[in-house]
Each structure stands twice: as C-alpha cells, then as structure tokens.
Chain A
Amino acid sequence: MDLLLQLLASGVVTGGIYALVAVGFVIVYKATGVINFATGELMMLGAFFAYTAMTAARAPFALALLLAVLAAAGLGALVERVVLRPLLGQRAISVIMVTIGLSSIFKGLAQMIWSGEYRSFPPIFPRAPLVLGPVILPARQVWPFAIALLAILVVGLGFRFTRTGTAMRATADDQQAAYAMGIDIRRVFSLSWSLAAVTAAVAGVVVGTIGGISPQLGAIGLRMFPVVILGGLDSIPGALLGGVAIGVLENLAGGYLDPLLEGGGVKEVVPFAALVAILMIRPYGLFGTREVERL
C-alpha cells in the first residue's frame, strides 16, 4: 500500500511537470497547427540558460530562472520568425520535419557550447522532505512540482484574463474572424512560440534540478506525445489531466512491471502503448476538438 501511495505521489509530481510542457505544446498547436518536435530541446536549452546564469554569473536561482525565461522567450520568437513563418500552411510533413530539424540543431549547438558532459545544478531548495502520512516526498521533487504548478497557473490565468490571452484564444478559435477583428495574427503566432519556449524552459529547469542536465535531456520531449494525445492536441485542461494521468501511469508501470521483466524499459514504453489505445478509441483525445472534414 505504501508503495502504491509513493508511486502515485511521484507520478503526480512528474505529471505536473509534463503538464507544464504540454501546455506550451498545446498553445503552439492551437495557434499555428504545428506539432513541435523540438519541445524537449527547448527544455534542455532553458535548463542550460539557467545553469549558465547560476554558475558563470553566480546569479541566485530566482534571477537565473527569470533570465532563462527571457532568453527562451526571445529564442521562441526568433524560431517562429525565421523558420516557422515561411512554412505557414504547408503540408503536415514539412511542418513536422522542420521542428525535427530544429531539435537536431539545438542538440548539436548545446553540445558544442556546453559539451556532452552531465552536470547538476548547485543545491537550490531546502532539504527537508515533505511528509504526508506514509508518503515521503523528497524536497527536490516537491519544489519543482510547486514551481510547475505556479507556472501553469500563471499561463492559464494570463490566457483567460489578459487582453493578449484573449487575442490568442480568438485566433485559435477562428483565425479569419480574429484577423477581421483587427487582431495581429502574426504577433499571436510569435507570442505562442515564445510562450511555448518559456513553459518548456521552466519545465527544463525544473527537470534539471531533479536529475541534472545534459544535451540529451531533450529526449524527454518524446514523452509529451502520449500526454497531449490523451488530453487532446488542442485542449489546455486536457494537457493538465493528460500530464498527470501519464505521469501516474508511467510510475505505476515502472514500479510494478519493470521488476518483472529483465530487459526493463516498461516505464518508457507503457505511455506509448496507451497512446495507441487512445488513438484507436478516441483519436481526438479526451477534450480535443473532433475534426470534421469537408470537401
């Protein structure tokens, strides 16, 4: 029973971080119809920005996080302007491949700048673990989770209540109508990429503080797919729920099934098995919009 609770708890913690990345992913998809395969690499770069600020410039953690967020926002806008905009409205294959190409560039650049070595953040959070009855959560998981939740909350509220957020939702809803109402669609596209890069950067920093960083950190981006497919590619509440569900599923599978198989790796594969099942039953996810095609 204790094992179950422990697994559930760490599943929720992982899920919170997944949810944060998934929110950025969904924002880009809603606004521009692009599936961002470079999400993981944006996480990795964000983590390295913060790491560099902390080690080279000896900035305190909060400042480093802020710097990483700003740098990521700039990078997101740049990527949108230079790479994505020329491909607006192109076939699915082009849009997929261009983000894959980007991820390869980012990975290579990171390795050139920071080398392939594995690094860990200087200690940041207080060490006292959080004790909830039988479940003990180490501090290095609780704090990241709290940061992830806070970031989701900020993005969610901003999306709901600010003028820019409203413009972004309007664009996602109906691009032509939004354009006719005087919303600058191009600015919305660029903002959504910035926002996606920012959420990825925060998630990257948070993941980095848990397990250290290296240019290979980006591989985690693949795990976004089960999350966003479960929730629906264009649903923010879906991203939250999907994140937590996949986080929990992954940890349960890792805890109970992994010891049974000598090869291991169940933790990585189970979310994808779930993904296939979801696609077969409900291709548009739990909360996604059902696409209706007309000729």
Chain B
Amino acid sequence: MLIGNYQETYRSDEALLRTPAVRGWMAALLALALLFPFVAGDYLLYLANLMGVLAIAALGLNILTGFTGQISLGHAAFMGVGGFGAAFLASRLSLPFWLAVPAGGAMACLAGVVVGVPSLRIKGLYLAIATLAAQVIAEWVFVNWTSATGGIRGLNVPPARLLGLSLDTDFKVYFLVQAAAAAHVWFAANLLRTRWGRAFVAVRDRDIAAELIGVPLFRTKILSFMVSSWYAGIAGGLWAYFVKVVTPENFPLSLSIQLLAMVIVGGLGSIKGTLFGAAFMTLVPEALKLLVGALRAVWPGAQAYLFPMRDVVFGALIVAFLIFEPHGLAEVWNRIKRFFALWPFEK
C-alpha cells in the first residue's frame, strides 16, 4: 500500500519513474520482454512484432489526435511514405537499415508538414476530411509511381544487417522492433512534459485561447504533425523490414482507421493507453480466429463468418468504448490500480 511519495531533490521529482515500486515493476517488465522471445513460438513472436510496429504508429497518432486535437484519417499514408522510403533506399541504393529507416521517417515527416500546413486554415471535421483526401491520394501515388514504389507488386526489402548479423527471423527482428518501440515510448513520455508538449495540449483544449497566451499556433500544429508522422514513418520502415515486402495494399484507409481505433480503445491522450490499445486491437482478431477454430468442431460453417465477424466486433468495440468507456483502457487500468492502492483497507 502506497502511503506517501516524498521527493527531496528536483532531479528525483522530475524523474519519469518516481517511486521504487514503479521502477521495480518496470524492471520486471523489461526482464519479461527480454525473456519472452526465448520461450515464445514463431506465431507469438510475429504477434509481438506486429504489436510493436503498430504501437509506434498509434503512439504517433495519439500525439497528434489525443494530445494536439488534430484528427488524422491518413496515418496509414504516412506509414506508407516511411515504408516505401525505407524500402526504396534499402533495395535500390542498398543503404543499411539504420540509415534507411530513419530516412524513411524523415520523408514521412516532410509528408506530415505538407498535410499539416492546411491545418491552420481548416480544423475539426474539415481537417479530418482533408487527411482522408491525403490518404486516398497517397494510395493512388503508391500504386502509380511505379519507378519509386514498384507499383502494385511493391518492393522487396533485404533483411536488416546489424553488426554482421542478419535480422532475418521474427526472433531477431523482435529485438529491433521492441527497442525502437521502447525508445519511441520514452521519447513521447518526455516530450509531453516539455514546453512543446504542453503547447500541444493547450492547442487541443482551446486553440484560440492558446494563441492568445503566446503559443505559436501554426508552429505547434506543424510540429505535432511532424513528430506524429515521424512515428508513423518509422513504424512503416520497421514494418517493411519485418514483412520483407512493401506493397500499396499494406497501407489502406482501413489501417488508418485501425490506428484510430487503437487510440480510442486505449485512451485518447494517454501513452500507456496507446500501448494497451495497440495490444488489444491486435489480439482481438487473433482471439476471434481461435474461437472460430474451436467452433469448427461443432459448427463446420463457422469459418465463413470469421471475416464478417471481425468487422462487426471491430465496429462494436469502437462504438462500445466511445459510449461506455470514453477514456479507454487507460481509465480501466487506473481504476484497477486505485482499487489496489488502498486494498485491503477500503473496498
């Protein structure tokens, strides 16, 4: 039971992990994450990698939508820019992955600026529609700019090489993806405590008021778009190395919507929530697959309903969370934590 949290130096007061208990849990989590690939099978590793990649992208989207209040329906397009950028640099110019992925992120960043510029003039629902247009146009460019993207067939990506080691299996990619995810979570957690991070939140809550008290509105929005699309671009680049081929079909509008769903289900404006959301929304379709597989014994026709059922469950989750749990899984987590904070002295 937590009684008090006394900080005696500014340094300890500013730390991200402020109590020994939190530090202990974090260390345990880290140890588990490091142990996981040695016990898990290929399928679980694949899921963990997918989750890691999607978590990075969803985190970027949450910085833009949850913290800055700018809705983006085009985040899959930013992932695509990063993915195709990294794949192009790696396959045509044979750049090593530690240059190709950040370069892809930088390209996505630029794309973010282009899409973000109109955000000063249009906002709210109109901005959402503008980003939707960006998504549609980007998809078209991916298909038609054959010389750079390889068109419908896409680009093959050689496995990443690190210290003479070829990262060609899910086991090896796991460490790369999770390290990148951890770094991006750490950066986001810190970013939101800085002057700029506070400016994001001010813009979200009341943009005109924020400008009146001296937050440069345009620069803040653009910066948010840049950070956010950098995250998406890095996720896209990592994904390219992880699935080894990028095609335009990897980055459809439905992926943008899936990322938004992760942010909503996890909790708008919560980093922890984003991670929960990414994990949850990745696991639900897999759980459904298992369920349908189990049902097949008693009901052979179940397989035909798997895909439509995924659509229904996906939609129902979004609707249910918005109506019943608008702060998402992060709030559920906090409730559970509060319960145990005083347990067993208060029910």
- Residue numbers of A with Cβ under 8 A of B are 35, 83, 86-87, 90-94, 96-98, 100-112, 115-116, 215, 222, 225-226, 229, 233, 261-263, 265, 268-269, 272-273, 275-276, 279-280, 283, 293, 295
Contact = CB atoms under 8 A, between A and B. Distances in A.
Contacts of B315: 100-108
Contacts of B347: none
Contacts of A276: 118, 130, 133-134, 137
Interface residues of B, number: 52
A49 B132 CA distance: 30
Nearest to B320: A101
A283 B322 contact: no
Contact of A98 (B69, B152, B318): B318
A279 B312 CA distance: 33
A105 B311 contact: yes
Output the residue of B132, B253, B313 with the most chain A CB within 10 A: B132
B293 interface: no
A3 to B, nearest CB: 23
Interface stretch (B43-51, B138-146, B160-168): B138-146
A276 B114 CA distance: 12
Contact of A283 (B122, B132, B209, B257): B122
A111 B306 CA distance: 10
B136 A222 contact: yes
A272 B136 contact: yes
B40 interface: no
Interface string B283-316: 0000000000000000000001101111111111
B331 to A, nearest CB: 14
Contacts of A94: 264, 322, 326
Nearest to A83: B319
Interface of B: 65, 69, 71, 73, 118, 121-122, 124-126, 128-130, 132-134, 136-137, 140, 143-144, 146, 151-152, 206, 208-209, 212, 253, 257, 260-261, 264, 268, 304-305, 307-319, 322-323, 326
Output the residue of A83, A97, A98 with the most chain B CB within 10 A: A97
Contacts of A110: 308
Given A101-B319, A225-B132, A265-B143, A108 B309 contact: yes
Contacts of A269: 136-137, 140
Contacts, number: 148
Contact of B129 (A87, A90, A275): A275
Contacts of A109: 308, 312
Interface class of chain B by DSSP: helix
A263 B305 contact: no
B311 A35 contact: no
Contacts of B118: 276, 279-280
Given A112-B312, A268-B136, A279 B260 contact: no
Contacts of A233: 125-126
B1 to A, nearest CB: 36
Contacts of B313: 108
Contact of A83 (B136, B144, B312, B323): B323
Contacts of A102: 315, 319
A96 B125 contact: yes
Contacts of B129: 35, 225, 229, 275, 279
A219 to B, nearest CB: 9
A272 B132 CA distance: 9
16 contacts: A92-B128, A93-B264, A97-B322, A98-B318, A98-B322, A98-B323, A101-B317, A101-B322, A107-B315, A108-B313, A215-B308, A225-B129, A262-B144, A268-B140, A272-B133, A279-B126
